[in-house]
Each structure stands twice: as C-alpha cells, then as structure tokens.
Structure 1
Amino acid sequence: MEEEIRELVLGVDGVAIVYSADPLWLTVLKQVGAALSPVDDPAQLPFVVCLRDDDGGRQIMRVQVRIGTNGAVPAPALARNVAAAIRVFVSARQPEVGVVAAVEVAAIGV
C-alpha cells in the first residue's frame, strides 16, 4: 500500500517530490548499518510509512509522508490536500479503519 500512496501523493497538484519518511539522521544511520552488515542487502528507504494501531478497540492506520512542493499551491493547503487524498484512498480500500495522515512539508519550491 505504501508505494500506491506514494504514487497518489506524487499525483497531487503542487507536489514535486516525496522524500524518505525517515528523518535524515535515521536514513544515514540505516545506510551505515547496511554498509557494515555482513549481508549484501542495501537498506530500503521508506517513502511512506503506514502503521496500524488499535485505538481503544478501533483500528487506525497512521500514514506518514514527507513532501517537497513546486510552489504552485501554498504549503499549508497542499499538506491538507495530500492528507485528504490519503484519507480517501485508504478509506476506500479499508473502510473499517480510521486514517490519520501526517504530511510534512520538507521543502517549498523544489
């Protein structure tokens, strides 16, 4: 579902790029760990993170994404548009699950 959400977000007017969902320091740490690992498997960078949680008996899907804008849409409005698109997308596929979308604008006018 993460890759589908990434493609959806990239299709929202005003989104220029979807960044790794992890903060930079964690991305670097994962890359270093993968380089030092005896297994020859590069660390995967998650662009969208979906976590299911139980919130008092109700299932909640928490979706985290970091975006860069192209400047065509004001950043606050764009974040709201992306969050709304994610909620509609997830709700259509899993109507029994509540959706919380956390959209971080990491760069404006990329």
Structure 2
Amino acid sequence: MSVEAEIHQLVLGMDGISAVFVVDPLWKNVVSQLGSLLGQDGASGQLQFVDCSTDRSGANPVMTVRLRIGADGSVPAPALARAVAATIRTHVKSVQPDVDVVAAVEISAISV
C-alpha cells in the first residue's frame, strides 16, 4: 500500500472526520480525466485523495502532504485540523524517519 493510501485510510478512521475529498478542485479533475481518456493508452486516471510530494533540494528531504477533509462537527475544526496534521507527521516519520513533514490540511466541509 502506498503512503498516500495509508494516510487516506488513517485519516478516514479518525474521530471527527466525515470524508476525505479529492485534493484538486473539480475542474482540474475533469481536465485530468479528459486528458487521460484522450491519451495514447486510453486509460483513465484515478482521483487523488492525498497528495505527497518530496523536495530533496535542501539538507533534509521535506515531504509535503496535502489533503481536504470533511468534519462531522463533533470536534472543533481547528483542533481537528491540528490532530490530522499531527497524525500525518507521526505516520510519515514512522515509515520514512529521515524526511521532514509538512501537512497541509484543508477543511472543506463541516456538517452538524
């Protein structure tokens, strides 16, 4: 399982989370899907729920993890975002201890 898939499942299991949404806005996903369909292989691209990118230009590699979540209202949104970010940092450090982690957590919806 990829780091992205592991983070996706980990975050979905947290208290206060109602959903993990695709990382990119709808219009960008539509353009990407259309491009995949028009490509040579004809295979459609998969939607991306967690985006991990690593910058190796500095002294230590830095992995930036982006995701968009939906909150169910049972946990205050700022506390939920901090908890998700901390969980992501802990998980990535457990599998890649030499990488520094930046977690960019966007709360896209809060249901009550």
Per the normalisation by structure 2, the TM-score is 0.90
Alignment partners' CA distance in 2, 1:53 and 1:20: 22
Q: Secondary structure at the match of 1:63?
A: strand
Equivalent residue for 1:70, pick from 63, 69, 72: 72
Shift of 1:55: 4.9
Give the structure 2 partner of residue 12 of structure 1.
Answer: 14
Question: What are structure 1's unaligned runs of at least 5 residues?
Answer: none
Q: Write out aligned runs for 1:1-110 (5 A).
A: 1-109=3-111
Give percent identity, aligned residues only. Answer: 52
Partners of 1:55 and 1:15 lie apart in 2 by 34
Give the drift of 1:33: 1.9
Secondary structure of the residue aligned to 2:61 is strand
The one-letter code sitting in structure 2 at the alignment partner of 1:26 is K
Task: Tell which deviates more after alignment, 23-32 or 43-52.
Answer: 23-32
Taking the aligned partners of 2:32 and 2:44, their CA distance within structure 1 comes to 9
**Alignment partner of 2:32: what SS?**
helix
Question: Compared with structure 1, are the counterparts of its residues 96 and 31 closer, same or farther at alpha carbon in structure 2 (3 Å cutoff)?
Answer: same
The letter of the residue matching 1:108 is I
Instruction: Tell me the TM-score normalised to structure 1 length.
Output: 0.92
Secondary structure of the 2:78 match is helix
**RMSD between aligned residues:** 1.4
